[in-house]
Structure 1
Amino acid sequence: MLEGNYQEFLETISEKIKKNQIFTDKLHTLVYGTDASFYRLLPKIVIKADNSDEVQFIIKEAYKRALPITFRAAGTSLSGQAISDSILLITSRKFTNFKLADDKSYISLEPALTGEQANNILKEFNKKIGPDPASINAAMIGGIAANNASGMCCGISQNSYKTLKSIKLIMADGTKLDTSSEKSKKRFRHQHKEFLENLKELASKTKHDKELKSLIERKFKIKNTCGYSLNALVDYEDEFDILSHLIIGSEGTLAFIEEVTYNTVEDYPNKASALIFFENIKDACNAVSKIKLAKDDGKIIVDAVELMDNKALKSVQDKEGMPSYLKEFDSEVTALLVETRANLKKDLKTQTKDIENILSEFKTVRPIKFTTKVEEYTLFWKIRKGLFPAVGAIRKIGTTVIIEDVAYPIESLAEATLELQSLFEKHGYHEALIFGHALEGNFHFVFTQDFNDQKEIKRYDEFMNDVTNSVAVKYQGSLKAEHGTGRNMAAFIELEWGKTAFDMMESIKNLFDPTGILNPGVIINHDKQAHLKNLKPLPATNDLVDTCIECGFCEPMCPSNAITFTPRHRIVANREISRLEVIGEQKEADELKEAYVYDGLETCATCSLCSTACPVGIDTGALTKYLRHERITPTQDKVATFIANNFSTTLSGMRVGLKSANFVHSLIGTSLMTGMTNNFRKLLGTPKWSATLPSGLSINEKFTNKASDKKIVYFPSCISRTMGQSSFSQEEKSLYDVTVEVLQKAGFEIVLPKALEELCCGMPFSSKGFTKQAEQKSTQLEKALLEVSNNGEYPILCDTSPCTKKMQESFISDIKIYEPIEFCLDYVVNELEFTKIDEPITIHTTCSSRKMGLHEKFIALAKLCSNEVIVPADVKCCGFAGDRGFNFPELNKSALSSLKEQTSGAKLAFSTSKTCEIGLSEESGLDYNSILYLVNRCSSSKI
């Protein structure tokens, strides 16, 4: 029970906001209240808002009661600006409408769209948004604008401040404003006349204060997100332009951002990057200054220059794909990652030559070599973007990784950087490394910190005081260049800006938010020790996830991100459970464990796509399997063992059940069947029935088989041996029969494993935590495949991608197992004649296929068969997760919420997993089938 105004607020908002969007319990407030920073506050109430009307209602009710409220988008912010001990309002993943101008010159975006989603919308037009933070795949538009996040290439010319066209806001009192609408501005003028007059007065006062104006102009010649965007007061005359640009970088302390309209920028198709190695950091910094001067003089075109000092290089030298020579460098070698872009290839070649000429006076450890190969420069940038989390992954468990974000005037870059390194040594941060956007004089430095010891906290404080004086006072730089002020620099704003500018910032805060309810303690904070308070613990919980620093990069990949927990949430929860157990609070730990079951265990798809987005490859799906295993009872274990030992009987039972369901469906029809089974589900908790549910199937193992020198072992998965076509499907043949047709058409002699009905890869067991039974079935299958393939002499095909991936992970031997995509490209395509169809098709790459690196290959195979291939940009894991889609269909529905819209226009649909295809068909209205159906349809024998 909440106290006073909070309880009244809760009761009021519960009348209009769905109860499953409001959280007050410890588990949900903890996990939803955690962001990527090293600070933590526990909110009293967390609310997920789906749209601006809900936000307006919530803000008005908080305003009435003077209750502090903080806004959160993706929570990838690093400075503590997205946490609260009061009300935390999160923009849900439904807050994602957009509108693109006819000429593509601007795009309007709601706050929960990620930067990647925005760029995917613009990609086909060779456009993008200007801001490009390293977290762009996860960071949402609301946060990108609220923090004025920049990044690798946008510098200060294409950030949110410079590319803002208009903005929609909800002010502290709940008033809405759309700066693109004359009607809205007129209404606002009438309602907030005094506010606008005071705002214009602040701007006029600033413009007439020559010293302050000069300071502002100088400070914003380099990247600066420390404090408010005071440049708005001198850059603009119109009060709405001033207002909207003050919002940029205000970190939710002035208003809620309902929508941002960006002027789009060109995204040139031709790119080249070079990783250039200098003997030391001083030479690298001097080279940066030379490049910057040449760029400003128009002598070269360079889009980005990223510096990685020696310790940064060492932190990634063992990563997959990195050149081996990194290990041979001495302790001073520093790298610059340089990128240039052009519309035409010939221009790109000229630009790379110009850059090489500019740098010819510098001695490099290796010759300068630009690459235009996508896979090569993508690796360079992936490594650069993953430096921060990579450092966090090698920290001592229990310590925190801290990233600071400063900018120096370019003329002082070398001297200031050397001084920064000397401060590392002075305070004993010997592991600290430097990397960042050198072209803008913007460096990040990363180090690990123990906040469990007062001596260590004192050391951190002394270090930060030295750093802030060096950056802000001695070199007149920015204490925050792009990560936002947050809590860790709020105490140092006056040090950087001086009293006059700080007082102006305080006046802005008081004007916009007179009651002080919007994100208190952020940007304006009079507590000089604020950066040392509310520090977040990172206790050990499980070796599988202990390296996580809670950055949130994983969240967009997670199929449960819109309904329950994400990988980050699951790790946060488990850390708290472990912490409570260590300190002896077992009762509270057990309560959290029970509260965790649905959100953490039941609705985790264990697809492990989170590991593909995680810079250090953390697989939270593996944690879920581990935790499911811990909950297995002796009775459940015995049942699983019985099933494993009597697998053919189990499959026979499945066939009977599927045939029975389809028979009843044929008698009573879809509508009545749906209603009846839904009622059973509500009353008895039975699995969901769907019209896309396949009928039972028994395969014919004794087909006519022609002898051939080309032998292929075909292992039909237990799913394709059991499930045929549904009444919904347009196809009559089973996947098994189609696969046999394709193989025989291509001239293969097919060999099936012996005792086929008993064989299974083990996935149905492992996904539920039955590790012993999974290993039993996997070992049995491996032995059978080794025997029938003559120890791997013949290629082995499995018709289902998830099963293939499971075999690859579980088998001890090095036999090669193929799934349909790679097998067709490697063995079938050259044996058959392909004729493309004119019908537009769509494909879904399963999680397993993505993890096997087959997404692009799937697209290539599809394009051999059709002139138009639709690939839904926002659909990752389908959330069906084997049989989980039957028991928790809400996971599948949520994961595929955008599928129908993004596959609009497609006539045929294909994937490589039968169970995934059930859910995909259900949510799209299309008949999804294996890609082998399309290959069979589009191909003919060459003979």
Structure 2
Amino acid sequence: MSNAQLSQYPLQNQLHNKSTISANANLSSGAKTDDDSIALDFDYLAFEREAKVFLGDRIFSDYARRFAYGIDASCYRYIPKLVVWVKNEEEIARLYDLSQKYNIPLTFRASGTSLSGQACSDSVLVVANEFWKNIKIKFDDNADSSKAPTSIVCDCGVIGSDANAALKPYNRKIGPDPATINNALIGGIFSNNSSGMCCGVKQNSYQTIKSIRVILGDLRKTSKSSKNYGDDRGEKIKHNGNAIVLDTSDEARQGESLASFISAYPHIVKSLLDLREEILADKELCEMIKRKFAIKNTTGYALNALVDFSDIKDILNHIFIGAEGTLGFISRVEYECVQDYAHKACALLFYENLSLASEAVKILARNDSIVSAAEIMDYACLMSASSLDGMPSEISKVKSGNCAILVQLEEDCLEALEKNIATITSALSPIESLFGVKFSFDSAEQESWWKIRKALLPLSASSRPSGSTVITEDICFEIDSFAKGIQNTQELFAKHGYEGIIFGHALSGNVHFIITPLLKDKAEITRFGRFMEDLAKMVASLGGSTKAEHGTGRMVAPFVELEWGEKAYKINQKIKQIFDSRNLINPDVIITNDKNIHLKNLKPAAQGVLEDYLDACMECGFCEKICPSKHLTLTPRQRIALRREIKRLKSLKNKTNSQRRQYEELKKSYKYLGVQTCATCSMCATLCPLEIDTAKIALKLSPKWSKKYGGVSALLASSLSHNISLMTNLARHLTSLSNSLQELLTPQKMQNLTRKFYATIGTPILPITMPKPNEKKIRGQQWASKFLEDKCDNVEYASLASSGVSSEKLNGRLNGEVVYFTSCLNRIFAPKSNASSELESNITKIFDRPMQEVFESLCKKANFYLHYPQNIQHLCCGKAYKNHKEQSQNLAKNAYLALREASQNGRVPIVCDHSACSLELLKKIKEFEAQESANSDYLAPLRFYDLPAFVSECLLPHLEIVPLSQATKQNPPKVALYAPCGTRNLSVKSQKWEESIFSIAKACGADIIHDSQVKCCGFAGNKGFITPELNESALKYFGTNFLKSSNQSPLSHSDYIFDEAKMGFSSSSTCEIGLAQKSGFEWRHIIYLADICAK
């Protein structure tokens, strides 16, 4: 948000300007804990002051956000002095200048999923994520865009899976495939030389890189003479301040090309080529480099770039791979595309022990030309995944010591794949497996197996003892040493008293393991240090890699020389010196003088302080990309980490002054950062392998604050919850008043005015797209009578009417019946009367009707009998009173009893017309039914539907649907769809609430546009009125497509994908307010579309 926007939200503005704690609190055992001023030679205040000029509100100095934004997936806890969200290359260049001016180090970070501490900082953390999302697909000059692309250009902030999604229509993908590909960003994948399950060393970044764009520091400082800088030989290099842009692509702009770089910095080129000659002159060193990079290796810099290539372009393209942001800022990467095979087959092979599995691995490795992956998992891994969906029945039969290998084969031709399966099955036959060799072609089954494998780290870490630290190691051996390496690792576990979990990419000889030590005192840290030293020596003795794919980071920086030897280590040091002579770019990563750096600033033990449902979180970051507040305040893992730290500080019996100040500031800041800007949508649980629902924090804390600070709120809640009819009538009148004022002042002026009121007295902010009041008087008996009149002759109707409405007497005349629970929100709001003028008048009339009339119309067309529960005007699901538990529970109970009666104890299905309320009702119904069952009062379960699901499953088969083009008598505009977060909740996944919205639109022949990235709009019921910045931030990029084709240049934000849409459909009236404000056109419930097309 801009500073102007920020000022509209006083709570956020106040928080942003706080800087009461400027300390770096080293929180691990033995680290400083009472350092509140940091006596350093660096002037961070001056740095911040100058940086604010061009960064505005994207530089953070308040302690709460410095702590939260400093979190990553590693075992380290560093708290930056400043955190910066960078927007473009110019800002990077200016930060370089400030770094050199004040001698302040910079650390570049992408998504924070790395595990070795390479993205941690106690100085200035520079985050390149939100604003770096452009993708460009390139084709051969002579090929059209229907052919297979040759390469893909990605900004550093593109998620790896998004790059693959862009390439999927062409059966292509990027080479690297780390387990974190759904979260890791291209900048991190490239800078760590991440590989993964299938790519091995054949299709990693090193093998598939085509060009890079990198922002370098002031390289002129490294030369004794500057007479050649920018001379007349060729192009002059383009500088942003003292920083340099180097673009090795064929499309490099003048002053940024490789030729410009060579001309301006011949000493850099010479230094690199001299290093190459030094290596080639030492045959033993040269052979060692080739041998060590024949397997996965991310220990140290890419020395193989100096052996494999003689052309300076190739050397520069490759030298930054795996450099972990220590040499420069990788702005953009161009990867060659690799084949994404159409046909895949997987087998889950179980073995008696790891020794037998290792023998199978050798066979698979000898056939690596037809085997794309072989993932080994020990007994502990299998147990951690055994309770999850999609696991085969064999897992329940495994015994201690057993293990499994997940094998994948892939081909473009099914016949070839089947032939390869026969070859592998035969080759494996000498190694006895527990349950045989069975390959599956079922993509859903394969996906479930791979989902478990990719989630093994957080799954395994979840079973750790409370307060322990998750240590993830990543070693690699030549295949012939693979079994020995695993055996030696297990012996080290026993020697140092650790219980480890082993898994990894067996086909590459790559072993991952997890240990969870309680690093609560110096003795424990010393024990861990001895283990790491023994591990490094063991791996080096077998010619392996102490880091295969997770990056050197801080974890093995002290052991780079041990693994590589003195001569190779000096080459590493020289590479660092060439590009960062002042050691200001990510210091202590890869190259360090501190031999104990891996033991410092470990995440502190916080034993027994955090709620059980949160304690399993290891801060992996899988949840972050889906969170609606990720660009505003915090993500789920940051909320959990901040709460963990608050609880840890609170638990300390003898707090220092610094700890006391930290505790007070974190607790105060958490109200806005952790609670008020949490949408409580639970979308984080859908991506978390452990299904941790961070929304529970806000749901738990909000009522406490409401009770403590909101006496008036509690009184109103108590009064209004006893008279829902009064509440809805009052809300209608206020909605009508707001409409009138908007007409008088204009919607924008009215919104600005209410923002001022909100800032002073806390009244709601009025959206520009405020709906109109719903004037419909719901009379269930009246509608039923009209229904009977339409279906019966006069005599029969009179008889039925006199005996009361009885749907059973219409048996044979009906296709079905339904109880309609219309939410209080939809009894208050109705769509505005401003449908597109391009539509026919009959369509406009449908759009202008209240939702209840539209659903009544659909039911009549489908010959379904509809009736409302008794006293519907007094019913509410209770969600509106979520901060007042007693009132919420009472309302939910009343609704449940009314629905049980109206549905004749579950005989008649029930629908609700607001997805968020549907979710709330469903949860409460299950809760009350469980209570009844426990009391032996068994009643048949209620049959409950969200409205789109009911229409899709029950009404559509009985409706005559005409295509939208026919219904509108013209070529209709494209239809925008959005499935609210309530339809995506894990608890309704099997009921396909989300899919039903799309199935209705498809049945209507609609040309659908939807944004697959936004999973929650952030309106969050009332938060759209009292915390509108959450909705604005969640929808900031709604409808933005960052994908470019080869003829679009330069890279920039693409066109708005909803430009051609004139109507939008969803299933939540509050969400539709925010969607309309963002998109510029009205949104309605999906049943409006169904009624348009139903004859």
What interval of TM-score do these two structures reach, taking the shorter chain for normalisation?
over 0.9
Counterpart secondary structure, 2:906: coil
* Whole-Å separation in 1 of the counterparts to 2:596 and 2:43: 29
Counterpart secondary structure, 1:705: helix
* Whole-Å separation in 1 of the counterparts to 2:916 and 2:355: 50
* Whole-Å separation in 1 of the counterparts to 2:54 and 2:103: 20
Task: Name the counterpart of 1:49.
Answer: 86
- Confirm or deny that 1:645 pairs with 2:722: yes
Shift of residue 669, structure 1, vs aligned partner? 4.2
Counterpart secondary structure, 1:822: helix
* Whole-Å separation in 1 of the counterparts to 2:999 and 2:364: 39
Contact 2:675-2:697 within 8 A present in 1 as well: no
Counterpart secondary structure, 1:396: coil
Deviations 1:536-594 (A, max 9, x none): 11523323311111111111010010111111111121122112211254554233222
- Confirm or deny that 1:408 pairs with 2:477: yes
- Counterpart selection for 1:428 from 475, 497, 502: 497
Quick check: which has more Rg, 1 or 2? 2
Shift of residue 366, structure 1, vs aligned partner? 1.4
Contact 1:98-1:108 within 8 A present in 2 as well: yes
Counterpart secondary structure, 2:512: strand
- Confirm or deny that 1:841 pairs with 2:886: no
* Whole-Å separation in 2 of the counterparts to 1:79 and 1:257: 19
Shift of residue 527, structure 1, vs aligned partner? 2.1
1:692-731 to structure 2, matched below 5 A, reads: 692-699=769-776, 700-701=778-779, 702-703=782-783, 704-706=786-788, 707=807, 708-709=810-811, 710-730=816-836, 731=847
Shift of residue 683, structure 1, vs aligned partner? 5.9
- Counterpart selection for 1:870 from 1009, 1015, 1028: 1009
Task: Name the counterpart of 1:258.
Answer: 331
Shift of residue 241, structure 1, vs aligned partner? 2.0
Over 3 Å counting, the alpha-carbon distance change for 1:802 and 1:351 in structure 2 is: farther
Deviations 1:57-79 (A, max 9, x none): 11121022221111111111111
1:499-648 to structure 2, matched below 5 A, reads: 499-539=566-606, 540-584=609-653, 585=655, 588-633=662-707, 635=711, 636-648=713-725
* Whole-Å separation in 2 of the counterparts to 1:936 and 1:207: 76
The worse-fitting range, judged by mean Cα deviation, of 812-821 and 374-383 is: 812-821
Over 3 Å counting, the alpha-carbon distance change for 1:680 and 1:60 in structure 2 is: same
Shift of residue 678, structure 1, vs aligned partner? 5.1
Counterpart secondary structure, 1:631: helix
Counterpart secondary structure, 2:467: coil
- Counterpart selection for 1:358 from 427, 440, 449: 427
Task: Name the counterpart of 1:663.
Answer: 740
- Counterpart selection for 1:329 from 398, 418, 421: 398
Deviations 1:77-100 (A, max 9, x none): 111111111111111412222322
Shift of residue 715, structure 1, vs aligned partner? 0.8
Percent of matched pairs sharing the same residue = 39
* Whole-Å separation in 2 of the counterparts to 1:359 and 1:906: 56
Contact 2:368-2:507 within 8 A present in 1 as well: no
* Whole-Å separation in 2 of the counterparts to 1:494 and 1:571: 37
Task: Name the counterpart of 1:444.
Answer: 512
* Whole-Å separation in 2 of the counterparts to 1:346 and 1:890: 55
Letter in 2 for 1:369: K
1:28-39 to structure 2, matched below 5 A, reads: 28-39=65-76
1:742-891 to structure 2, matched below 5 A, reads: 742-766=858-882, 769-811=883-925, 812-813=928-929, 814-837=941-964, 839=972, 840-851=974-985, 852-853=988-989, 854=992, 855-866=994-1005, 868-891=1007-1030
Task: Name the counterpart of 2:534.
Answer: 466
* Whole-Å separation in 1 of the counterparts to 2:281 and 2:640: 53
Deviations 1:168-222 (A, max 9, x none): 1111222111111273223322332211111111122222221111111111111
Deviations 1:882-912 (A, max 9, x none): 1211222221122112223243433432211
Letter in 1 for 2:597: A
Letter in 2 for 1:176: V
Shift of residue 631, structure 1, vs aligned partner? 1.1
- Confirm or deny that 1:9 pairs with 2:50: no
1:266-345 to structure 2, matched below 5 A, reads: 266-296=339-369, 301-345=370-414
* Whole-Å separation in 2 of the counterparts to 1:177 and 1:607: 43
Counterpart secondary structure, 1:15: helix
1:451-490 to structure 2, matched below 5 A, reads: 451-473=519-541, 475-490=542-557
Counterpart secondary structure, 1:16: helix
1:883-902 to structure 2, matched below 5 A, reads: 883-900=1022-1039, 901-902=1056-1057
- Counterpart selection for 2:1088 from 925, 929, 933: 933
Counterpart secondary structure, 2:347: strand
* Whole-Å separation in 2 of the counterparts to 1:825 and 1:346: 39
Q: Give the RMSD, CA atoms, in angstroms.
A: 2.0
Contact 2:153-2:333 within 8 A present in 1 as well: yes
Question: Number of residue pairs matched?
Answer: 931
* Whole-Å separation in 2 of the counterparts to 1:126 and 1:59: 40
* Whole-Å separation in 1 of the counterparts to 2:310 and 2:341: 34
1:139-288 to structure 2, matched below 5 A, reads: 139-173=184-218, 174-180=243-249, 181=252, 183=254, 184=256, 185-288=258-361
**Structure 1 residues without counterparts, runs of 5 or longer:** none
* Whole-Å separation in 2 of the counterparts to 1:877 and 1:86: 34
Counterpart secondary structure, 1:607: coil
The worse-fitting range, judged by mean Cα deviation, of 361-370 and 224-233 is: 361-370
Letter in 2 for 1:371: S
Shift of residue 728, structure 1, vs aligned partner? 4.1
Shift of residue 667, structure 1, vs aligned partner? 4.3
The worse-fitting range, judged by mean Cα deviation, of 109-118 and 486-495 is: 109-118
* Whole-Å separation in 2 of the counterparts to 1:726 and 1:556: 33
Task: Name the counterpart of 2:100.
Answer: 63
* Whole-Å separation in 2 of the counterparts to 1:718 and 1:578: 38
Letter in 2 for 1:14: K
* Whole-Å separation in 2 of the counterparts to 1:934 and 1:17: 45
Counterpart secondary structure, 2:641: helix
Shift of residue 145, structure 1, vs aligned partner? 1.0
Deviations 1:580-636 (A, max 9, x none): 211254554233222222222211111110111111111111111111122123613
Deviations 1:299-344 (A, max 9, x none): xx22211111111101111223323431221212211111222334
Task: Name the counterpart of 1:399.
Answer: 468
* Whole-Å separation in 1 of the counterparts to 2:167 and 2:1012: 12
* Whole-Å separation in 2 of the counterparts to 1:270 and 1:538: 47
Letter in 2 for 1:754: Q
* Whole-Å separation in 2 of the counterparts to 1:598 and 1:359: 58
Counterpart secondary structure, 1:611: helix
Over 3 Å counting, the alpha-carbon distance change for 1:858 and 1:293 in structure 2 is: farther
The worse-fitting range, judged by mean Cα deviation, of 700-709 and 688-697 is: 700-709
Shift of residue 668, structure 1, vs aligned partner? 4.6
1:344-383 to structure 2, matched below 5 A, reads: 344-383=413-452
Contact 2:520-2:605 within 8 A present in 1 as well: no
The worse-fitting range, judged by mean Cα deviation, of 456-465 and 212-221 is: 456-465
Letter in 2 for 1:929: R
Over 3 Å counting, the alpha-carbon distance change for 1:592 and 1:217 in structure 2 is: same
Shift of residue 423, structure 1, vs aligned partner? 2.3
Counterpart secondary structure, 1:64: helix
* Whole-Å separation in 1 of the counterparts to 2:104 and 2:744: 59
The worse-fitting range, judged by mean Cα deviation, of 249-258 and 154-163 is: 154-163
- Counterpart selection for 2:167 from 122, 134, 142: 122
Counterpart secondary structure, 1:749: strand
Shift of residue 935, structure 1, vs aligned partner? 2.1
* Whole-Å separation in 2 of the counterparts to 1:315 and 1:443: 18
Shift of residue 679, structure 1, vs aligned partner? 5.3
Letter in 2 for 1:917: E
Shift of residue 857, structure 1, vs aligned partner? 4.7
The worse-fitting range, judged by mean Cα deviation, of 899-908 and 236-245 is: 899-908
- Counterpart selection for 2:114 from 69, 77, 92: 77
